[in-house]
């Protein structure tokens, strides 16, 4: 192949990610020309509701998958955390790239930590996962919906609509906005979403030549960790409607996987911390431990 087309969302972060993949591919494969196909997704257009109320994670990827199915594009670049655990038939994540910092970031003009916010301090987030963990530890804070791209969210903070907001470290770093981070939240305080900080490249399962070109971009260690994290999400019906976190990291020859499921108000949280060599095995162990701690009952209250 001498030409590839990347389907991408139109946000500045999504375009950065797609451009990053374009540059890597062109550097790896002499003579290959890569173009971007920017598309607007429903997830970008619906800004007045939480994603779980608007249709879930698929809102960010459906239009890109349609472009693949219609052969208008050869691959799509996603933040893995935005990709549903189960892809439609005929689609594959052909590569998972080396991970950026997976943690959540506190961004504020006045406060260094969540603990330093006053009672009634307003924290902005669109994530049920983040909100549940903050509510558990800091019930005195007020959580307020925050939607839009990174720049829009920062602008709302700068207009004093919030005392602090929570964003992914990876997005801020990739946009050259790391200086806005007041503190990086420890994973034990704010467990990341499955796949957070990693870029995934999707293509049609039948596109063997495309998958072959993408193979050098796959980072085996990150892919193993992401497989374990997404295994938890898949088993528990992980979606934007479920406050669910999962983070795996290599620990010698094993994977250490931390996972949680929470009620929306953060009053009930089941946690697991498991180790195993195989991604599927450690995911199964974590799911079993979460269920032992009452995850099924928590999920039933969410309508899952």
Do 73 and 120 lie in a common domain?
no
Average of per-residue pLDDT across 106-114: 97
Residue 36 inside a domain? The answer is: yes
Asked whether residue 45 carries a pLDDT value surpassing 70, the answer given is no
**Enclosing domain of residue 289:** 230-301
- Pick from 39-43, 255-259, 260-264: least confident: 39-43
The C-alpha angle 262, 46, 149, rounded to 5 degrees, equals: 80
pLDDT-based confidence at 301, cuts 50/70/90? confident
Residue 82 inside a domain? The answer is: yes
Residue 191 inside a domain? The answer is: no
- CATH number, domain of 80, equals 3.40.190.10
Asked whether residue 126 carries a pLDDT value surpassing 60, the answer given is yes
Do 129 and 241 lie in a common domain?
no
**CA atoms of 135 and 138, how far apart (whole Å):** 5
Q: Known catalytic residue: 163?
A: no
**CA atoms of 286 and 136, how far apart (whole Å):** 21
Do 22 and 56 lie in a common domain?
yes
Do 239 and 214 lie in a common domain?
no
Quickly tell me which residue has 């005195």 as its tokens.
Answer: 140
Asked whether residue 100 carries a pLDDT value surpassing 70, the answer given is yes
Do 165 and 132 lie in a common domain?
yes
Do 45 and 160 lie in a common domain?
no
Do 19 and 156 lie in a common domain?
no
Q: What are phi and psi of 216, to 5 degrees?
A: -65, -15
3-state secondary structure 207-218: CHHHHHHHHHHC
Do 93 and 163 lie in a common domain?
no
- The total domain count for the chain is 3
Question: Which of 52, 82, 104, 163 is the catalytic position?
Answer: 82
Residue with more model confidence, 49 or 207: 207
pLDDT-based confidence at 21, cuts 50/70/90? very high
Residue 245 inside a domain? The answer is: yes
What pLDDT, on the 0 to 100 scale, is given for residue 105?
98
Asked whether residue 53 carries a pLDDT value surpassing 90, the answer given is no
What pLDDT, on the 0 to 100 scale, is given for residue 57?
53
Asked whether residue 1 carries a pLDDT value surpassing 90, the answer given is no
Residue 223 inside a domain? The answer is: no
- CATH number, domain of 288, equals 3.30.160.40
Q: Which tens digits make up the pLDDT trace of 140-181?
A: 999 999 988 999 999 999 999 999 999 999 999 999 999 999
Do the Cβ atoms of 274 and 298 come closer than 8 Å?
A: no
Counting beta carbons within 10 angstroms of the beta carbon of residue 188, is it exposed (0 to 12), middle (13 to 18) or buried (19 or more)?
exposed
- Pick from 35-49, 110-124, 261-275: least confident: 35-49
Asked whether residue 54 carries a pLDDT value surpassing 50, the answer given is no
pLDDT-based confidence at 40, cuts 50/70/90? confident
Do 73 and 109 lie in a common domain?
no
Residue 207 inside a domain? The answer is: yes
Do 250 and 141 lie in a common domain?
no
What pLDDT, on the 0 to 100 scale, is given for residue 55?
46
What pLDDT, on the 0 to 100 scale, is given for residue 60?
75
Q: What are phi and psi of 213, to 5 degrees?
A: -65, -30
**CA atoms of 53 and 40, how far apart (whole Å):** 19
Q: Which tens digits make up the pLDDT trace of 205-215?
A: 999 999 999 99
Do the Cβ atoms of 185 and 106 come closer than 8 Å?
A: yes
Residue 56 inside a domain? The answer is: yes
Residue 189 inside a domain? The answer is: no
Q: What are phi and psi of 247, to 5 degrees?
A: -145, 125
What pLDDT, on the 0 to 100 scale, is given for residue 242?
86
Task: Say what percent of the chain tops pLDDT 90.
Answer: 87
Do 156 and 286 lie in a common domain?
no
Average of per-residue pLDDT across 88-97: 97
Asked whether residue 93 carries a pLDDT value surpassing 80, the answer given is yes
Do the Cβ atoms of 156 and 148 come closer than 8 Å?
A: yes
Do 66 and 210 lie in a common domain?
yes
What does pLDDT average to over the chain? 93
């Amino acid at each position: 192949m001498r030409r590839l087309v990347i389907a991408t969302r139109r946000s500045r972060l999504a375009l950065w990610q797609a451009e990053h993949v374009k540059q890597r591919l062109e550097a790896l494969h002499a003579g290959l020309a890569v173009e971007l196909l920017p598309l607007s997704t429903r997830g970008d257009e619906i800004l007045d509701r939480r994603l779980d109320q608007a249709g879930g994670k698929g809102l960010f990827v459906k239009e890109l998958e349609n472009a693949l199915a219609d052969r208008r594009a050869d691959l799509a670049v996603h933040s893995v955390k935005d990709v549903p655990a189960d892809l439609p038939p005929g689609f594959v994540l052909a590569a998972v790239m080396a991970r950026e910092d997976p943690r959540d970031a506190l961004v504020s003009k006045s406060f260094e930590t969540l603990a330093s916010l006053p009672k009634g301090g307003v924290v902005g987030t669109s994530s049920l996962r983040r909100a549940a963990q903050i509510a558990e530890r800091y019930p005195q804070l007020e959580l307020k919906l925050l939607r839009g791209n990174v720049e829009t969210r920062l602008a709302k903070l700068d207009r004093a609509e919030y005392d602090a907001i929570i964003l992914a470290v990876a997005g801020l770093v990739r946009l050259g906005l790391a200086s806005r981070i007041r503190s990086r939240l420890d994973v034990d305080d704010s467990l990341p979403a499955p796949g957070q900080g990693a870029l995934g490249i999707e293509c049609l399962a039948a596109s063997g030549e495309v998958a072959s070109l993408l193979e050098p971009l796959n980072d085996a260690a990150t892919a193993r960790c992401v497989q374990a994290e997404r295994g938890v999400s898949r088993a528990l019906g992980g979606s934007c409607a479920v406050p669910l976190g999962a983070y795996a990291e290599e620990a010698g020859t094993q994977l250490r996987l931390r996972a949680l499921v929470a009620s929306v108000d953060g009053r009930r949280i089941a946690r697991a911390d498991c180790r195993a060599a195989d991604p599927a095995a450690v995911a199964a162990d974590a799911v079993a431990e979460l269920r032992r701690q009452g995850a099924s009952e928590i999920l039933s209250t969410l309508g899952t």
